[in-house]
């Protein structure tokens, strides 16, 4: 092995794994939070519309 070549340490791998975990958590929150907010503030059901009234002129 050459003296100038980088060595892989276990602490570097665990830090990289931790950074991936934190990044994934941030991505999940970024995607889920807007959907949950919209679902929370959207009314459950719209009020029913009254039936349309049609007036017919009947000539007898």
pLDDT score for 38: 94
Report the alpha-carbon angle 44-45-46, nearest 5.
Answer: 135
- For the whole model, what pTM was predicted? 0.51
Domain ranges of the chain: 13-43
3-state SS string for 2-58:
CCCCCCCCHHHHHHHHHHHHHHHHHHHHHHHHHHHHHHHHCCCCCCCCCCCCCCCCC
Output the tens digit of pLDDT for each of the chain's 60 residues.
555 555 556 677 888 999 999 999 999 999 999 999 999 998 887 778 888 888 877 776
Joined tokens for residue 27:
């991505």
Query: Residue 39 burial by CB count (10 A; 0-12/13-18/19+): exposed, middle or buried?
Result: exposed
């Amino acid at each position: 092995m050459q003296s100038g070549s980088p060595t892989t340490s276990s602490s570097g791998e665990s830090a990289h794994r931790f950074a991936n975990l934190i990044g994934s958590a941030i991505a999940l929150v970024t995607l889920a939070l807007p959907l949950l907010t919209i679902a929370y503030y959207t009314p459950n059901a719209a009020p029913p519309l009254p039936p349309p009234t049609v007036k017919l002129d009947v000539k007898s």
